Every structure is written in structure tokens, then in C-alpha cells.
Amino acid sequence: MEKNENTRKIHKSNLMVILVGVVVMSLMTVFSYGFVLDALKGSAIMWAAGILAIISYYGIKNDMTKAILILAFPSLSTLVYSYVLGGSSVSFLACYLFLAMTTVYFEEKYIKTFMIVVSVPSVISLVDYKIIDGYNGTFSGAVVKFLFFLFIGWSLYLAVKRGKSYILRSEETLRVVEENGQVANDISNNLNDAISNSRNRVHELAAQAQDVSEAAGQMGTVVESTTHATVTVSEKIASATEEIDRNYEMAQTLEQSFGEVSKSVNEGNAEATNVRENLDEMSKTVAGAQGAMDTLLEEMSRITGILEEIDAIAKQTNLLSLNASIEAARAGEHGRGFAVVADEIRQLAEQSAAAAENINKIIAGLSGTTQDVSEKINAGAQAAADGVEKMGGLLEVFEGIQDSTKDAKGIVQQQYEVIEVVKRDFGEILGEIETLVATTEENTAMIQNITDTIERQHDAVDDVEKDIIDIAGISDDLKAQFAK
């Protein structure tokens, strides 16, 4: 990015020099030759070259092409300018100036390209050597100027190429030096950080050593307390073992009780089953009696209907006998016998009606009694059905009790197993406690050795801290040296 910016500045600077040169050359031409046609043509050529340079500056994007065109148009215009004026010894010298302006880019390919662009027309111009060496010049002079142009261009090309290689090596060397300096500075900073961290760690280590020493003393007290606590725990475990043995005996008693409960539940279940069967039979019997009562009520209803028909016939007969008596009375002596028969029939009809009425009353009373019996039978049937249902619920309760008893027996069995495991674990714990007591006595001696070692370590930490302080001084000197 910085290189492109410098190139743009050189483009602009060269363009300004060219435009100034165009103005100067135009003025010199007019002053030297006057306002003649050739002078005006020469000035026009110079201005055309300036305009082409401006177009190249604003219209070309590629930096190399832009640089060559900005300088090539004015260079070639000097040859045309000299040709129009019949030869000029000064115009070709401008090519040396443009070559120098090309060198400002400090790119050997720019110089090489510019020399090729200018050299070809220059060689052609040797045909009319006055274009290069002037009106009074010679062919040899023109050749010398051209060769000198090539020599200077080649020398500048080599110088730029060599200079760029030197600059690249210098930049590489500078980069390495900067990297080494940065690395050394980073190392110094890291070393200072490490030293600072080490000093902090040493202080922490010293503090930790002191804490460990105090902890070792406290550990001795704790070990002694642990020994007493271990003995107490051993006694508690022995007491707990006795309690476990009693729990084991209670579990056995509980298992026997559950066995008796299970037996009673089985017996109750059997009795409940028998009662349920009896209730089922009774329910069936009551249902049969209820059916018979319903049939009896239907028959009584039919008898009542028949009695009603008999009563109706008796009433009709009584009416007919009354009519017969009336007709017999009309007949006089001849109808007396018929009247007696009619009276007998009337009496018989009245007796039949009275008998039917009595039977109807009896049937009505019997029907009420039968209806009451039927209702009671229905109530008994419902009670029997409810009894069957309740006995079913009782059987389910018995089954639940039996299942619970089985589960309880399983739990008691698991308790047996747990108690056995606990007894075994307590035995192992007692063994471990005995080992712990022995190990605690050994740890007491080891703690004393640790305390002595920590004291020696504390002295060594003091020596390390002194060495770290010396290293920190050396690191500061190294950092100051690279800072220069």
C-alpha cells in the first residue's frame, strides 16, 4: 500500500516536470525562431505530447504502463520536434532527463522498457543524424550521443537492480535484527514474568511450608484424638453388633407371626368362599320363589276377572228374572208357576253375586298378602345379591392381606440377608479399625520426620529466593541492553 502511494506521487511529480518542460520548450522555440510556421509546429508537437501525458496519467490504471507512457510521449516528441525544426542538438538531451525521471521509480523493468521504447525510434533517426546531433552535427556525433544514452541507461539499470538487491538484503537484515531484538525483549519480559512468578511461588511455598509445619503439629493431635475415637467406635460397633443379633431374633419371631397370619387368612378365605357359595344358592332359591309369586299373582288376577264376569252374569240374570216376574204377573194364574221359577232364579243370582263378592274380597286380601310376600322376597333377593357382592369384596380383602403377608415375609427374608451383610461388614470394620490403630502409631513417627524435613525445606527456599533476585538483576540488564 505504501509502495503504491509512492508510485502515484512519482507519476504526479513527473507529469508536473513534463508540463513545465513543455511550457519552457515552447517559449524557447518562439524566442529562438520567432513566430514562424516551423516554430509553431514544434510548439504544437510539444503541447500534444503534454496532453497525451495527461491522458495517460488519468486514463491508465496499470502503474508501469502509466509511467512509460507519461515519459515516452515527451521523449518521442523531442525527436519529432527536432525533425520539424530541421535538427536540434538540445532536444535529444531531454531524453537523458526522461531517463533520469524513469530511474526515480527505482524499478529496473521500467528503465529497460523505456530504453526499448526510445531506442527504436532513435536508431531510425540516425538516418537523419541532424535529429539527434543538431543542424550542424555529424553522423558520428549522433551515434556517440545515442550510444552514450544506451550506456547511461544500462548503467542506471544495473545500479537500480544492484541497489534493490542491497535494499532487500538490508531490509531482511533489519527485519532479522528487529525480530531478534523483539525475541530477546520477549524473552526478557517472559524471564521477568517467570522470575516474578517464581518469587511469588517461593513466598507461597514458604508460607505453605509454615502452614504444613503447623498442620503437621495439628495432625499429631488429630492422630491422637483419632486413636481415642477409634477405640470408642470399636466399642460402639460391638454394642451395635449385639443390637443386630437381637434384631435378627425379632425378625425370626416376626416371620413366625406372619406365618400364623397367613394361615388364618387362608382359613378365612376358605370360609368366605363357602359363605359366598351358600349366598349364591340362596339367591337362586329366592329368585325361584319370586317367580312363583309372580305366577300366583297373575292367576289371582285371572280369578278376579272371572268373578267379575260371574257378578255381571248374576246381575243380568237378576234383571231377567225381574222382567220374567213382571210378565208372569201380567199372565195371572197362568204365569204363577213361571213367577215362582223366576223368583228362584233371582234368589240364585243374588246368592251367586254374594258368593262372587265374598270370593273377590278373599282374593283381594290374598292378593295383598301375596304382594307383601313378593316385596319381601324381592328385598331378600336384593339382600342376598348384596351379600354376594360384599363377600366378593371380603375375598379381595383376604387376597390383599395374603399378598401383603407374602410381601412382608419377603421383606423379612431380605432383612435377614441385610443383617447378615451388616454383621459381616461390622466384622471387617473391626479388623480395619485394629489396622488403623497400628497405622496411626506409625503415622505419628512419620509426622515428626515431616516436620524436620519442612524446616530444612524452609532454609532451602530462602536460598532459592536469593538466587532468583540475582537472576532478576541480570534480566533487567539484558532488557536495558536490547532497549538501546
The string of pLDDT tens digits covering residues 365-382 is 877 777 776 777 677 767
CB atoms within 10 A of CB 482: 14
Query: Is residue 346 domain-shared with residue 440, that is, in the same domain?
Result: yes
Phi, psi of 54 (to 5 degrees): -65, -45
Which residues, at least 6 apart from 423, have a Cβ–Cβ distance to it below 8 Å? 241, 244, 245
pLDDT surpasses 70 at 298: yes
Residue 61 in 3-state DSSP?
coil
Asked if residue 166 has pLDDT above 50, the reply is yes
Q: Are residues 347 and 452 in the same domain?
A: yes
Average pLDDT over residues 85-90: 81
User: Per the domain annotation, does 247 fall within a domain?
Assistant: yes
Residue 47, pLDDT score: 94
Residue 215 or 453, more confident: 453
When mean pLDDT is compared across 3-12, 227-236, 268-277, 411-420, the lowest value belongs to: 227-236
Average pLDDT over residues 453-468: 69
Nearest C-alpha neighbor of 42 from the set 53, 54, 33, 51: 33
- Residue 333: DSSP 8-state: G
Residue 386 in domain: yes
Amino acid, res. 254: L
Whole-angstrom Cα distance, residue 434 to residue 441? 11
Question: Closest by alpha carbon to 51, among 65, 69, 27?
Answer: 69
At 52 the pLDDT is 94
What residues have CB less than 8 Å from 341, skipping those under 6 apart? 324
Inside any domain, residue 144: no
Among residues of the chain, what percentage have pLDDT more than 90? 11
pLDDT score, position 229 = 46
Beta-carbon count within 10 A of 179 CB = 10
C-alpha cell at 50: 503534454
Q: Which three cell numbers stand for residue 133?
A: 546531433
pTM greater than 0.75: no
Task: For helices 139-331 and 93-103, give the axis angle rounded to 10 degrees.
Answer: 40
Residue at a domain's end among 109, 137, 165: 137
- Let me know if residue 163 belongs to a domain: no
Residue 424: per-residue pLDDT:
77
Tell me, yes or no, whether 365 and 226 share the same domain.
Answer: yes
Cell of 365: 286380601
Confidence tier at 480 by pLDDT (50, 70, 90): low
Average model confidence (pLDDT) across the chain? 76
Residue 198's pLDDT is 64
Which residue matches cell numbers 509445619?
A: 213
Which of 27-31, 102-106, 459-463 has the lowest average pLDDT? 459-463
Angle, nearest 10°, between helix axes 336-483 and 139-331? 160
Residue 193 maps to a domain: no
- In angstroms, rounded to a whole number, what is the distance separating the alpha carbons of residues 410 and 109? 103
| Domain termination site, one of 108, 137, 166 | 137
Instruction: Report the range of poorest mean pLDDT among 129-138, 284-293, 305-314.
Output: 284-293
Residue 54 pLDDT exceeds 90:
yes
Q: Are 98 and 71 in contact (CB under 8 A)?
A: yes
C-alpha 363/C-alpha 310 separation (Å) is 14
182 contacts 427 by C-beta, under 8 angstroms? no
**Is residue 173 in a domain?**
no
Is the same domain home to 126 and 226?
no
Amino acid, res. 60: I
Residue 171 lies in a domain: no
What the block records as the C-alpha cell of 319 is 234383571
Least confident of 65-69, 217-221, 223-227, 327-331: 223-227
- Do 344 and 452 lie in one domain? The reply is yes
**Three cell numbers written together for 353:** 253375586
Whether residue 252 sits in one domain with residue 375: yes
Alpha carbon distance 333, 373 (integer Å): 60
Output the domain CATH number for residue 245. 1.10.287.950
Q: How far lies 417's CA from each of 237, 251, 431, 447, in Å?
A: 19, 11, 21, 43
Separation CA 466–CA 319 (nearest Å): 157
Considering the domain architecture, whether residues 105 and 254 belong to the same structural domain is answered as no
- Secondary structure class of 137 (helix, strand, coil): coil
Whole-number pLDDT of residue 57: 93
Same domain, 262 and 130: no
Closest listed residue to residue 461, CA positions, set 212, 219, 188, 216 = 212
How many domains in the chain?
A: 2
Secondary structure letter of residue 92 according to DSSP = T
Band of pLDDT at residue 352, cut at 50, 70 and 90: confident
In a domain, 227, yes or no: yes
> Same structural domain for residues 129 and 15?
yes
Cα separation of 162 and 226, whole Å? 88
Of 121, 137, 153, which closes a domain?
A: 137
Where does residue 423 fall: left (phi above 0), alpha (psi -120 to 50 degrees), or beta otherwise? alpha
Angle, helices 108-125 vs 139-331, to 10°: value is 130
- Its domain, for residue 454, covers 220-472
Model pLDDT for residues 142-163, shown as the tens digit of each residue: 898 889 989 998 999 998 888 8
Dist CA 104 CA 159 (whole Å)? 12
